[in-house]
Copies of this chain bind each other. A is one copy, B any other.
Amino acid sequence: MHIAMLVHDRFTALDVVGPYEILSRLPDVRLDFVAERPGPVRTDTGFLALTADKSLDQVRSPDVVVVCGGPGTFEQLENAAVLDWLCAVDATSTWTTSVCSGSLLLGAAGLLRGRRATCHWAALDLLKEYGAEPTEERVVTDGRYVTAAGVSSGIDMGLTLVGRIAGDDHAQAVQLLTEYDPQPPYDAGSPHKAPAHLVEEFRTGSRFTLA
| CB within 8 Å for A18 and B24 given contacts A156-B184, A179-B151, A186-B171 | no
Residues of chain A whose beta carbon lies under 8 Å from any beta carbon of chain B: 12-14, 17-18, 20-21, 24-25, 30-33, 40, 45, 47-51, 53, 100, 120-121, 138-139, 149-153, 155-156, 159-160, 163, 168-169, 171-173, 175-186, 188-191, 193-195, 198-199, 201-202, 207-208
Name the CB-closest residue of B to A31. Answer: B47
Q: Is B49 within 8 A of A50, CB to CB?
A: yes
Bound-state CA distance A32–B45 (Å) is 11
- Within the complex, which residue of B33, B179, B184, B199 is in contact with A182, where a contact is CB–CB below 8 Å? B184
Chain B residues within 8 Å of A207, by CB: 173
Tally of this chain's copies: 2
A143, chain B: closest CB distance, angstroms? 18
Select one of B40, B169, B186 contacting A198, CB under 8 A.
B169
CA distance A187 to B177 in the complex (A): 13
Partner of A17, one of B17, B160, B181, B201: B17
Question: Chain B nearest CB: distance from A112 CB in Å?
Answer: 19
B180 near A152 with CB under 8 A, answer yes
Cβ contacts under 8 Å, A156 to chain B:
182-185
Give the docked Cα–Cα distance between A178 and B149 (Å): 9
Chain B residue at smallest Cβ distance from A172: B188
Give the residue among A13, A21, A155, A179 with the most B Cβ atoms within 10 A. Answer: A179
B159 with A176: CB separation less than 8 A? no
Which of B153, B181, B185 is A159 in contact with, Cβ under 8 Å?
B185
Contacts of A194 in B (CB 8 A): 172-173, 175-176
Provide the residues of chain B in CB contact with A53, threshold 8 Å.
49
Q: Chain B's nearest CB lies how many Å from the CB of A170?
A: 8
Q: How far is the CB of A192 from chain B (nearest CB, A)?
A: 9
